[in-house]
Structure 1
Amino acid sequence: MIKVTGNRVFLLDIEGTTTSLSFVKDILFPYAEDNLESHVISNWTSEQLREDIELIRQQSVDDFNDGLIGKPLTGSVDDKEPRLFRRELVNYVRGLISADRKCTALKQLQGHIWKNGFESGTIKGHVFDDVPKALESWKNDHQCDIYIYSSGSIEAQKLHFGHSVHGNLLPLISGHFDTTTGPKQESSSYTKIANVINRQPDDFLFLTDVPKEAVAAQAAGFTSIIVYRPGNVEVDSDTTLRFPSIESFDEIKFV
């Protein structure tokens, strides 16, 4: 059990914290990959896809400069014969998915693919049973603000919580942050979040299953809590000693 006072700010990770790892790995990632090519073809002339492709193209340049790929994407949506470029684009994005890259370009494109699945009802966001009740209590009974910080895009986060297995949870959430704020394993990202929300770092409780994220948040002055969920990767003994931990949001008690 972890005892806290009211009027705190909860900053929550998603994967492995509010949501099972298996949902992301077994449902969301395969859906994005299976529907990638059809999404690209059906939205080829849309402005949204143009923006997504430009981000993907820049990511390919960065990967080329870092020696991760042999050449960057060079084609264009406006090519007279776009099939070759589409094939290169799809293959490159599939490589990003396979490597579980956390880059903004991939997460934005995935979010736009998932949008169709969520809005059609094909996908419903998994959320552990203890989460909705805890969010409602934190917000309404204890006047706490609740924010999400995930490597998934803000749009994808809103789809996930807006179309969850427990219904629309967005009214309980004050705001969202993604990798456009900064990497989750860098303390400067958490400092930036505190500045955006205009709260002191020691007001924050950051809940995550990833020790390196907990370390980064702690370095910024946040209180980090490790969350153990079924299927999560085991943490080492140093992490166990360094951070308080919970298996359910029910273990956070207000005094």
Structure 2
Amino acid sequence: MVIVKVKKPLAVVFDFCGTAARDTFVEKTLQPYFKLAYKAYFEANWSKEECQADAKALAAVAAKDAAAPKIDLTAAKQEQIAALAKYVEYCGANKKDTSKAFVMYRFHVWFDGYDRGKLTTPVYSDVAVHIQKWKTELQLKLFIFSNGWTEATKKFMSKTSHGDLNALIDDHFDTSLGSLKDAATYRKLIERIKEDPKEVTFLTKSASEGKAAKAAGLNVVLVLTHTATVEAVSTSCKDIPIARSFTQVEFI
């Protein structure tokens, strides 16, 4: 096993999907759950303010689409839920599920699944073991920098195959700071965590993100689990070390 030795940092930043959890997590876990629970979410949470806000937001978007099923918010509860379900099905069938209202509603369905114990995030075992070690034994600060939404990543890390991992994470960041492929974004990150970039190690599966972070002065290790991926980036990322898992990263 090849060990990538890196000067012990004060902080470790790592991205979520593909690095901490399988990159198929959304496709194989979250999307199938949504298809099963999109209507049940309304039925179970109808009296909650958040659910009512979702219904109103979806109805407003539907009203602007001439071909979409309409939602009468003055109708009886079951009629409204039936209409909302038809609209959700319409959006899925016609690839109209990218509106802000729909995206937030989908997140809320997933969050409800986590809260009710229906969903668990399949975090890699080596990630869970090593962030525990880095936090408790090496006393490093740990940050997640995700292409997703911060609130979603927090929820995903709250119930994983290795328990609640949020207790180990000092803070979460997302693209509200900018693109993860832009060096300027990492400079903003450094300002937020108040560390010298030379004292920060970034672990990522993305070669483009790794190059951007390196340009901002961070130490970078590419964590690539697939042999084909390693071969594909070896030439273009000669100046960035490659590990196959967190197990192969050693701080000295």
Scaled to the shorter chain, the TM-score interval is 0.7 to 0.9
Distance 1:25 1:104 in 2: 20
2:242 alignment partner in structure 1: 245
Specify the alignment match of 2:150 in structure 1: 154
Matches within 5 A, 1:127-166: 127-166=123-162
Inter-partner Cα distance in structure 1 for 2:92 and 2:239:
38
Contact 1:18 1:127 in 2 (8 A): yes
| Per-residue Cα deviation, 1:64-123 (whole angstroms, up to 9, x for no partner) | xxxxxx9799999885577778755664477366xxx7x987664443221222222221
Q: How many residues align?
A: 241
- Percentage of matched positions with identical amino acids: 25
Given that 1:152 and 1:178 are in contact with CA atoms closer than 8 Å, whether structure 2 keeps it comes out as yes
- Which residue of 2 is the match for residue 205 of structure 1? 201
Question: Is residue 3 of structure 2 the alignment partner of residue 6 of structure 1?
Answer: no
Query: Larger Rg: 1 or 2?
Result: 2
Unpaired runs of 5+ in structure 2? none
Which residue of the other structure, out of 214, 219, 237, is the alignment partner of 1:218? 214
Shift of 1:56: 8.3
Shift of 1:251: 1.2
CA distance in 1, matches of 2:34, 2:241: 35
Contiguous gaps of at least 5 residues in structure 1: 61-69
Q: 1:48 aligns with which of 50, 58, 63?
A: 50
Is this contact kept in 1: 2:71–2:83, CA < 8 A? no
Per-residue deviation at 1:211? 1.6
**Normalised TM-score (structure 1):** 0.75
Pair 1:106–1:147, CA change in 2 (3 A): farther
1:46-125 equivalences in 2 (<5 Å): 46-49=48-51, 80=74, 87=86, 91-92=90-91, 95=95, 108-125=104-121
Distance 2:201 2:250 in 1: 13
Q: Is the partner of 1:226 in helix, strand or coil?
A: strand
Give the alignment's TM-score, normalised by structure 2.
0.76
Task: Tell me how large the CA RMSD over aligned residues is.
Answer: 3.7
